Amino acid sequence: MPAYDHNNIFAKILRGELPCHKVFEDDKCLAFLDIMPRAPGHTLVLPKTPARNILDIAPDDLGYVMQVVQKIAKASVRVFGADGITIQQFNESAGGQVVLHLHVHVIPRREGVAMKPPASFKEAPEVLAEQARKLSAALAG
């Protein structure tokens, strides 16, 4: 397996070198809104540990990421009035992974509304900021 690239875009976000619309952070995980969402509230959940994907992350770290994914999914149903949640996670280029830092997509879904195609639409920063505020508030209490 190739080595982890400490200069990937998510590593830069984790170090604070690039901005994001954060919805959750603790000492092990960061969750923020995707700037090219497939649906309103599309959130990415990342471990802070440098892991390319599911093939090289420690099982305990992966388990914690999934706990955060579940927490975000439950809050997303409330905040975005979702009828369901799509969870996506890709591994290596052949598996569809674009950024080689483990991340899980949490996408709130509405009955009868198709997801936008991947990377087809960049959401306005003010819309993302408001969605992040609402989701963060729901997660906080």
Q: Would you state the CATH architecture of domain 9-140?
A: 2-Layer Sandwich (3.30)
| Measured distance between the N- and C-terminal CA atoms of the chain, rounded to whole angstroms | 41
CA angle 77, 104, 95 (to 5 degrees): 130
For residue 82, name the pLDDT band (cuts at 50, 70, 90): very high
Query: CA nearest 24: which of 109, 117, 115, 104?
Result: 104
Arithmetic mean of pLDDT, 58-86: 98
Whether 6 is catalytic? no
Token pair 């994907």 in the structure block, residue = 53
User: Distance between CA 118 and CA 52 in Å, rounded?
Assistant: 20
Residue ranges per domain, the chain?
Answer: 9-140
Q: How much is the mean pLDDT over the chain?
A: 97
Q: What is the tens place of the pLDDT at every residue in 8-56?
A: 999 999 999 999 999 999 999 999 999 999 999 999 999 999 999 999 9
Q: Contact 124/14 with Cβ under 8 angstroms? A: no
Give the phi and the psi of residue 88 in degrees, each rounded to 5: -130, 145
User: Distance between CA 137 and CA 59 in Å, rounded?
Assistant: 29
- Strand 84-88's sheet: what is its strand order? 22-25, 29-33, 43-47, 104-109, 84-88
Q: Contact 41/131 with Cβ under 8 angstroms? A: yes
User: Global pTM?
Assistant: 0.96
Choose the catalytic residue: 21, 42, 101, 103.
Answer: 103
User: Distance between CA 100 and CA 92 in Å, rounded?
Assistant: 7
Query: CA nearest 31: which of 41, 43, 19?
Result: 43
The structure tokens listed for 112 are 């009868």
